[in-house]
Amino acid sequence: MQKLFFFWLLLGAFVEAKRGTRINIFSQKNGDGDITQLHAAAHEKNGNRVMMNALPRSSPDRWVYQKGNDGSFVIPYKITGQFDLEENSIIMDAMRRITANTCIRFQKWNGESDYVEVQNRQNEGCYTIVGRQPGRNVVMLEANDRATCVEPDIVIHELFHTIGLWHEHMRNDRDQYIRVNFDNIPSYYQSQFEKVTPDEATTYDIPYDYRSVMHYAEDAFAKPGRISMQTVNPSYQRIIGKAVDAAQSDYAKVCIMYGCNMCMGKTYDQQSLVNSLKQNPNNGVNPNEPINPPAPSLPPNIVPQILVAGNENETKNGNGSESSSCYDLFSPICGMISEGNFLFSCSSGFTARICCRTCQQQKEKENIQPSPTQSSGFFGLFGRK
């Protein structure tokens, strides 16, 4: 009876529904956008601060004052907002993606003076500040039964702001790629579309990317029924603002900004990285192809594994990169398998699916295929094959 209760308890965690309707960060009702620096001073540069595509390597606002033993730059964080299991998982997975592709490492706050605090307050929407500021740096991710910011692309977008990225359409060279229709934008929103001068902006010579997760959508802050931006190449008109994950160019800016030794899993030098992006503009994606996430979609109503940022226990494929088709979906169960808990076994088809990474590692370690005669573990007791 206790085992049956435990089973339904775990199953309940898997089928938890997503809360709220997605918040459009490009047209939030508060009218302020998702960059705190643009809230109070719509038309001023906030003292000596300027709106850049990416903070320069000389900027004091980078998170460079705490380094890990592996040479990574540490951003202390704490989550004080009330988030459900799936929302926590999405937040942690965004941190993991950044850690896996740059030299930024998110680490739980341990009293550091400068840190990120992830909050959740009703009617606040989604916003943060660009770069590090002294003390607490708020990342606001509203999530409730009415509305939510906790979507994979929104979370990683806000974390990139915290690290030091501004919006793609603010680049000085943007007129070669988009046309901003100021007549379609209310005057009090037009600060969201300011273009900066070359001496203010830093793009690191990385080409403009329509598929950047930092790009605004075509109707961002536009009057009803209008569009605020037109792409010079009309094929990309429906592409901007629709990214579901970070582009290579987004990670590349962070890597160069922080002088990472590795970027996107490979050693690199800046010029070679820039050249590769120039040779493969917009990541080589045909604008007529549907926009899909780089990793496979998760099964309906299944929450992904809550991954601790900085976890280096990753399954690699043949070329040394992280496998995009085999990953753990629920760490409590998968951890029990790793510990040899008799309740769970990879010989159960259901368990093998939700703990693909752990079971693959176990299979490689044992160098055998699971035998049909082996115990199928806890889920096998209920015929879940």
- Report pLDDT digits (tens) over 22-80: 887 766 555 455 555 454 444 344 443 333 478 888 888 999 999 998 899 999 999 99
Q: What is the sign, positive or negative, of the torsion defined by CA atoms of 45, 161, 141, 78?
A: negative
304 compared with 44, residue with greater pLDDT: 44
**130: nearest Cα among 168, 161, 160:** 161
Over residues 332-375, the pLDDT tens digits come to 567 666 666 556 678 777 677 667 777 877 776 665 443 343 33
157 is in an annotated binding site: yes
Are 348 and 332 within 8 A, CB to CB?
no
Which residues participate in catalysis according to the annotation? 158
What are the sequence ranges of the domains in the chain? 21-284, 323-380
Cα-based distances in Å from 20 to 143, 257, 361 = 7, 35, 37
Neighbours of 268 (CB within 10 A): 18
Looking at CATH, the fold of the domain delimited by 21-284 is given as Collagenase (Catalytic Domain) (3.40.390)
pLDDT number for residue 198 = 67
* CB-side neighbour CA atoms (13 Å) of 332: 10
